Amino acid sequence: MQTLGIFHSHRHAHQGFTLVELLLVLAVLGWVGLLAVPSMQRVLERTRAELARDQLHNDLQSARVRALQLGQALRLARLSDCTWATAVGSDWSCGWQLQLADGSQTLQVTPLHTPLLVSYTKTSALTISRQGELGGVGDRWTVGSRNPSLSVAYSLCLNNTGRIRTVLGTSCS
């Protein structure tokens, strides 16, 4: 019991942190936080690019099925009503919309809510035949970060069978 009494009185001798200890811990936490910010930005930008890439891939596959179901040619056209897009016809950064081939009816709209770089090799809309064939061989979309220091980019490539292949980087070769 005597030992417990000594332990008990020793435990109450130090009742908190000094101002110097608290400032030292805050400085170390701040320094660790500064080191983590670039890594976190890279992860967030990669996730945004992956989500946009996956959305585009899914919308292209859905457009194929929809053209077959309707027995009509469709077109996937770019949106251009966001603040980060350029006037260049190959800039799909605002998103895209699926329409009947003549443009008379919009079937689906997919806006992008984050400023990514999305480009298509052609300056016109993509035509999906009524047999569900997508564009032509060599057509490519590139989805990536607007921040060149983060260097995140993916490409969706059309091959000669009309299938979509996803690759890391800006080249389909």
- CATH number of residue 138's parent domain: 3.55.40.10
* 20 has pLDDT over 90: no
* 8 has pLDDT over 80: no
* 162 has pLDDT over 80: no
Q: Is residue 4 a part of any domain in this protein?
A: no
Give the amino acid at 29. L
Percentage of the chain beyond pLDDT 70 is 91
> Which pLDDT tens digit goes with each residue over 113-129?
888 999 998 878 899 99
> Which pLDDT tens digit goes with each residue over 77-123?
999 888 888 878 889 999 999 999 998 999 999 999 888 999 998 87
Q: Is residue 65 a part of any domain in this protein?
A: yes
Q: Is residue 5 a part of any domain in this protein?
A: no
Q: Is residue 162 a part of any domain in this protein?
A: yes
Q: Is residue 59 a part of any domain in this protein?
A: yes
| Pairwise pLDDT comparison (9 vs 30), residue with the higher score | 30
pLDDT for residue 13 = 57
pLDDT for residue 139 = 87
* 63 has pLDDT over 90: yes
Mean pLDDT over 61-69 rounds to 93
pLDDT for residue 48 = 92
Which range of residues forms the domain containing residue 157? 19-168
Give Cα separations from 15 to 4, 10, 11, 23, 73 (angstroms): 18, 10, 8, 17, 76
Q: Is residue 10 a part of any domain in this protein?
A: no
Q: Is residue 140 a part of any domain in this protein?
A: yes
Q: Whole-structure pTM over 0.85, yes or no?
A: no
* 152 has pLDDT over 90: no
